[in-house]
Structure 1
Amino acid sequence: MEFEKIEGRGIVVLGCGRMGSALLSGWLDRGLSHAAVTVIDPVPSDWLRGTGVHVNADLPEAPAIALIAVKPQMMGEALPALRALSDTLFVSVAAGTPIAAFQAAFGDDARIVRAMPNTPAAIGRGITAIVGNDAATPDDMDLAETLLSAVGEVVHLPGEDQMDAVTGLSGSGPAYVFHMIEAMTDAGVSQGLPHDLALRLARATVAGSGALAMTGETPEQLRINVTSPNGTTQAGLEVLMAELPDLMARTVAAAADRSRALRT
């Protein structure tokens, strides 16, 4: 059974906003029992109450995992609720909060995995980067991957120092793509299309291209495939490729720099 290690001891979820809810929904859909989950959330949603999991109830003494999904600014107030747990793997999906902050809260010998998912997790199409501290064992990393793969792909980082770059690229990346859809829509309108039609075309183009990008060919080759010499696509790319690489580099760098600043 996929969640066998969790079923027997249970899982505690600290915070059940968008990401916590996406993960919980994925686990339940994959067969994790409602009785195995205890959620701590000061303002539980109607959806959460309707799942049948334990909400703001007494915590198990030694759950297999405690998922930390509260906002970074709430850490100081929220983490003490987990300090009494024993022999528990702590998995954090909180942006900008380093492993050191959890070691300070739970002790240097605490087993901690830091994860950075992104919002497509809400539809099971996310990607999550994970890294563990020195105390986290290979079995801990496998368990964290099992948990997080319920909402998409999981990749392992060699070191926590790469997490800021991940935050800037895939963590914040969906917003960049959504803004591109907005910009493509506006560009279509400026060329005479009705807004609703331009939006439909832009959405479908980005969604379809994303699916095609996952088929195995490199993005470079896919671009070449659709670019006829001296054709319309080439004309457009001559404008886009002159500016987009530098713009995207500065965009990801700004987000990564902000991630670094949040932990200082």
Structure 2
Amino acid sequence: MIILAATPIGNLKDASVRLVEALGAVGIVASEDTRVTQRLLAGLGVENRPRLIALHDHNERDRSAEVVELARETDVLVLSDAGMPTVSDPGFHLVEAAAAAGVGVTALPGPSAVITALAVSGLPTDRFTFEGFLPRKQGERMAAFRALAGERRTMVFFESPNRLAAALADLASVLGADRRVVVCRELTKMFEEVRRGSAAELAAWAADGVRGEICVVVDGAAATVVDLDSGVDQVLSLVAAGTRLKDAAAEVAEATGLGKRDLYQAALAARKADAGPAR
């Protein structure tokens, strides 16, 4: 089968017992960078020397079929340079191909920059969304932030240290200078840093230059405060556009903080009133 294995995101001691055991026993490893895998084997003191297959962004689509066929006969361990394969790293197309071919896929869980950053951020963790790497170009980045302007969940991004200041300035421009932001730098490493502040404050801080691996955690948008009548108008507009009443009430409740049941009942009553008496 295909075995997706999480690798340390900074501290080698975070390697799981299961990862070390798998590295010591498996015959084939498909990895994002075979040189990184060789250093991992040496660092963990693993004497096994499996066959290494490069599987990265530029060749994954072409090599997935080959790796899937190998996995029919033997276990294939899949590694990215750090963290869990498929999460902003190679592996998705391979898993997709394996699922289509009926080849089993499992995972050895472990370190995750996304979850680690979220956990230490001090921002709400009950609901969150991971948005991956922000676009490189400013126009596309601004558009991405505009699309997330109403997102209520905590958001987690990856960003290059070279683009961090510009990204935070764009974030402040679109989502608001006061939006709460946490920048997590070099997680689990010697110079780990977690810096909290407003979008504007952190944009000014990053302007002096930042180094290392970066995760950005952003507070979700506050609920829009509207009265029930306005909420009902929004529900009815959605219904007029083709949304089911129940779904429209749930959507407006999520966006405004109003009660879903209250919205549903009031919108239902409004529809009946507009229909007039039966004849």
Task: Please say whether Structure 1 and Structure 2 have the same fold, judged by a TM-score greater than 0.5.
Answer: no
Q: TM-score if structure 1 supplies the norm length?
A: 0.32
- Structure 2 length as normaliser, TM-score? 0.31
**More helix per residue:** 1
